[in-house]
Amino acid sequence: MRITLVLIQAFVLIIHTSFSQSKSTKMSIYDFQIQSLSGEMIDFSDYKGKKILIVNTASECGYTPQYADLQLVHENFGDQLQVLGFPANNFGGQEPGTDEQIASFCEKNYGVDFPLFSKMDVVGEQQHPLYVWLKEKTGKEPNWNFCKYLISDDGKEVSFYPSSVNPGEIAEKL
């Protein structure tokens, strides 16, 4: 009886995992709706026709000055490229603040006015579905703060860039 129960549980897990993976693989970047730091739901279908640069951010990281570079990319290439920031506390506890504290820090220190989203997990058991999708598309997930994903203007191609790549370098290749 116990072996049968274990086999049934294993079967259910396999079916659930297969369904979850096939569902996210079939999704498009434009299917996501995610809450911003201000609490507003942002519909990614609004970004159709633009390249999208997705960055996992943190306020207390050696790469935090890239916020200034991201803001410059937003200002100089905003007609072609949408910058989106995703605060995460997954690496070294370097984003301990609340959404309100993060928003204040970014605006005060870097003049950030590109969209920032509610703090989320970009790796691990609680990995946000957006980052599951990005990982499935590239085979890569963030290994530190300020990793970047560039999504083509048709939403089909996704490229990964590590933290060390400055956002300006990515924008210059547009």
Give the active site residue among 37, 55, 58, 61: 61
CA–CA gap between residue 121 and residue 167 (Å, rounded): 21
139: left (phi over 0), alpha (psi -120 to 50) or beta: left
61 is catalytic: yes
- Yes or no: say if 153 and 50 are a contact pair by the CB < 8 Å rule: yes
In terms of DSSP bridges, do strands 51-57 and 81-87 run parallel, antiparallel, or are they unpaired? parallel
Which residue bears the tokens 């739901």? 41
CA–CA gap between residue 8 and residue 14 (Å, rounded): 10
Contacts of 14 (CB under 8 A, 6+ apart): none
β-partners of residue 83 are 53
Which residue bears the tokens 């943190």? 58
Residue type for position 101: Q
The residues annotated with a catalytic role in the active site are 61
